[in-house]
Structure 1
């Protein structure tokens, strides 16, 4: 933690810590320019180093010297001179009209373009649209504005600094401010033993492949022309990758390209992309595209294949909906379908709130009583209990999981072998549910790890009162079932849990409640969690809300009536399933 009076150069010291970390772990992967940067940077004058890091921590690569006012830096022009000698900063770069507008105030632009026939009441963006066609060339600031006393600095070294940032964090969404935020206690991270050999990239080719994938991602986000989508697909496919982690990133990007092609109704391209994509859900998207193209036989063949060997519960659920529709399209006889697990549903009529108010909160307040308190938890409670019990397993120093001190969780959290690589650690944690020691472990971690970043624990929601109530009322057998399902597919199963939990502390029991407002429907992942709970005899139901001002609810009422009757019929079977589980 920083002292009460932090050093004005704290950001520079943190940057130098990061460079030392990189020199220790990535010396063999750095290219000549990166090696030169690490060698030259410490030799620069203090104010030059401070200025460069200040600019690297700010948004953009072009700055006006009048806006680089830092006491420890002094005159930015003088501090930039040694950086300019090395070619790291350009002290007089050409500016496009867009760059000029980004750097200038409205009054400055009115002076520079005083002869332009533009209404002074027009927005700055409207000025730019009108002037862009007249000024297609880039000019130095003095050529745009001869009267300015200012100077422009362009951080030419920024792309190199981004590569170093990528090597350190393994991504580009984190930046050097992580050091500062950690020192100030804004974000706190678990301390994991990270060996000097631990790093995100094994070879230089991995770095280049990551950057190439990032460029393709940016091209996809910016793609406007129909033809450009095919070029993004070709560029993504052409990247040479020899790294399982990067192949996963490519698969995700390909899935995004396929979705974009679908939105544009480029069905042939979408099929081609999905056929070459291993991201979860790609096969199901192929079925949908084939159906959209009236290729019902091909879609049925693929769906039948998926039915026999689904990649996960989500695909199995979607295929079960698709198959009857495809068979009808092909005029094939309907197959006998096993009755799905019946989810209990109730209809609740409430007064419409006078002010905008989430329907989940309205139901919470309606059900809440002193003897049966109700909490809005959605995905937070079960995930948090899992994260607290299995803290050591989640943060185990497995090879390739942690490679810098600012990780919220392991890098392989969504990898197919995440559980398998920590099977012993997770088994040790879950065994406490049988021995009864799980409560002590959860409470101990709640106290000792409070505030530390975790991919599972929601500190802002999990109060001591809620934690103790949950441990009193949620049976260990049910915790085991929830945690087991989480580990089977973390990506899919961390969400979709019911909105509310209702406790009866005196009876040490609970109920999970999913709330649906007028016109709202269950999402697929919610249905899967609800059916799982019903199958294992856990108390769960859906509450459909209607307002008492006469809003149409006929469909909801019919659904509730049907599900209530079926739930009564199947309650004995459900209870038996829960007992055997």
Structure 2
């Protein structure tokens, strides 16, 4: 149930909560500026503190006092004056013309620059472009100098980098922000409560913080579209001598390295792409390195790396990639043709049905196959993951050092790491053992009742009703569930997806069938092929349905 927040200073209390948390858990890592801020903040008048937090939570660092209308704060100018001695904000800051245009609306700009003629009615962007060309408008000057007739006051937040570091220390990332508290307080997002040990910290040393910030800066440049060749030197420099002593940081760097390799590959810069992939441990990098060598026509080197990978594939995804690229490389080098691996035969269903303007292909097939004694549901990845998440809830949310380090984790920080399963081996073994003695049904339903609505990286609360879960537990053998769950644990990142679209149950017969639907011109994706082959190879019922529209067939 969504609650109404009665405390009008809820955001201030939450901000103070973050400061207290950081002081307690990261005090040994803080620099003087951070210590000083945490000590000085509570001593300020409440209105001044509230205004500061409001500024921090807003977008940007430049504001107009007239826009800061908060009933609980009162006069924003008075609150700002109380903040001035801290040096955290600046009144009437120097702004350039671009910043001024962000602050003012068109009528104010007309007044400030005495615009007339065609430029007066021009678009705001065109006005800015024209005024930029005038030398007298170059450089920065106080807001009041630009617009002397205004009675408003401009404010600039000066410590946004400090606040970002504090947010980083609390969340362990810069993706989450202060709205997490509000969403949690309102009951929109609810999180599992995990015990935090002294070792449960995202950052172990001050160097970890600095390295994260450098990696984040490189990541921001990547998403801004900068050339990979410009970003790569800084990314390499962000790696300390001897590498990171923090697997979580290391995984972030490896992922960005992989993305830069993809950029070089897109630019057909085969040399740099291969150099990046060869130095990258992110899943799939070795397969991309082989492909890049092939594109660069270095077939001997590509085949040598292929043989290394074939001897010990890192995942099913790589094994699938090798099965495709190996014969092609062998052919180019004149090697004998290897016998092709035959996929396990899968049942096929061909349907020709009337087209629908309201339903996707999955919905059309679902309606066609539905029977009262054999209902069909669109579940895709949600069913297997939800059953796994409910059965293995205690293992997923085990208080492993470094997995949880703030109260707003949807899942463990190391969810996609190679040792995710190994670090919780005993906990997962205990959960999966319930599939052997038949206690899994009661355990899954009990977790569903106890944890309903809590954030989880596996459970889809809004997608599946309890009735579907009970049907699944009645119709899917425990041995099949165990096969699903073990494969998910083999590679959480890749194997959480690729499940067939539909599932049909025959409750009276205690059986089921998974159905992957492909419409006209659609084909099976790689992760779907892997799951279908796995299910078929282990005797689990799966069908691929190929749908054609009646008029297309005619």
Moved more, 276-285 or 56-65: 56-65
> Could you say which residue in structure 1 is the equivalent of 2:17?
17
> Could you tell me which residue of structure 2 aligns to residue 388 of structure 1?
390
Aligned pairs (5 A) from 1:175-574: 175-225=177-227, 227-237=229-239, 241-355=244-358, 357-550=359-552
Q: Distance in 2 between matches of 1:369 and 1:44?
A: 68
Deviations 1:331-358 (A, max 9, x none): 3331112312233322221212134x32
Task: Give the conservation status (yes or no) of the 8 Å contact 1:500–1:512.
Answer: yes
CA deviation after TM superposition for structure 1 residue 443, in Å: 0.5
In 2, are the aligned partners of 1:271 and 1:289 still within 8 Å (CA)? yes
Render the CA deviation track for 1:134-179: whole Å, top value 9, x for unaligned. Answer: 5552332223322222111111111101101100110111112212
Quote the Cα distance in structure 1 between the aligned partners of 2:266 and 2:529: 26
Question: In 2, distance between residues paired with 1:188 and 1:446?
Answer: 14
Deviations 1:275-305 (CA, angstroms, capped at 9, x unpaired): 1111011111111111111112211111121
Alpha-carbon spacing, 1:136–1:252, altered in 2? closer, same or farther (3 Å): farther
**How far apart, CA to CA, are the structure 2 residues paired with 1:314 and 1:130?**
55
Question: Secondary structure of 1:253's match?
Answer: helix
In 2: Cα distance, 1:509 partner to 1:226 partner: 52
Alpha-carbon spacing, 1:280–1:226, altered in 2? closer, same or farther (3 Å):
closer
Q: Which moved more, 1:171-180 or 1:134-143?
A: 134-143
Whole-angstrom distance in 2 between the partners of 1:101 and 1:225: 30
Q: CA deviation at 1:417?
A: 1.2
Q: 1:102 to 1:313 in 2, by over 3 A?
A: same
Confirm whether residue 61 of structure 1 aligns to residue 64 of structure 2. no
Specify whether residues 517 and 127 from structure 1 end up closer, same or farther in structure 2 by C-alpha distance, changes over 3 A only: farther
Write the distance in 2 (CA, Å) between the matches of 1:109 and 1:475: 71
2:103: which partner in 1?
A: 103
Q: After TM superposition, give the deviation of residue 442 of structure 1 in Å.
A: 0.5
Judge which range, 202-211 or 122-131, deviates more: 122-131
8 Å CA contact 2:211, 2:239 repeated in 1: no
Give the superposition deviation at 1:551.
Answer: 6.1
TM-score (norm 1): 0.91
CA contact (8 A) 1:350 1:545 kept: yes
Superposition map of 1:132-211 within 5 A? 132-134=132-134, 135-211=137-213
| Superposed structure 1 runs of 4+ greater than 6 Å apart | none
Q: Return the alpha-carbon distance in structure 1 between the equivalents of residues 118 and 293 of structure 2.
A: 53
Cα deviation 1:483-510 (Å, max 9, x = unaligned): 0101111011011111111111111111
How far off its partner does 1:436 sit? 0.8
Structure 1 CA distance for aligned equivalents of residues 133 and 238 of structure 2: 33
Change (3 A) 1:35 1:434: same
Other-structure match for 2:81 = 81
Instruction: Tell me the SS of whatever aligns to 1:345.
Output: strand
CA, structure 1 residues 5+400, in 2 after alignment: closer, same or farther (shift >3 Å)? closer
Q: Deviations over 1:53-77 (max 9, x none)?
A: 1111122211111110111211111
CA gap of 1:3–1:347, structure 2 versus 1, over 3 A, is closer
The 3 A distance-change label for structure 1 pair 242 and 147 is: same
Aligned residues of 2:197 and 2:401 also touching (Cα < 8 A)? no
**Shift of residue 101, structure 1, vs aligned partner:** 2.7
**Maintained 8 Å contact 1:498/1:526:** yes
What is the alpha-carbon distance in structure 2 between the residues aligned to residue 396 and residue 227 of structure 1?
41
Query: SS at 2:290's partner residue?
Result: helix
Change (3 A) 1:227 1:443: closer
Q: Residue by residue, what CA displacement relative to the aligned partner does 1:338-395 show, whole Å, maximum 9, x if unpaired?
A: 312233322221212134x321112112211211111111110000000001111111
The 3-state SS of whatever aligns with 2:216 is helix
CA distance in structure 2 between the aligned counterparts of 1:330 and 1:3, rounded to whole angstroms: 68
Once residues 132 and 242 of structure 1 are traced to their aligned partners in structure 2, the CA distance between those partners, rounded to angstroms, is: 49
Distance 1:37 1:358, change over 3 A: same
Residue 202 of structure 1: CA displacement? 0.6
Task: Please identify, of 224-233 and 8-17, the stretch whose mean Cα deviation from structure 2 is larger.
Answer: 224-233
8 Å contact from structure 2 (residues 535, 542) kept in 1: yes
CA distance in 2, matches of 1:29, 1:237: 20
Q: Residues of 2 paired with 1:436 and 1:226: CA distance?
A: 53
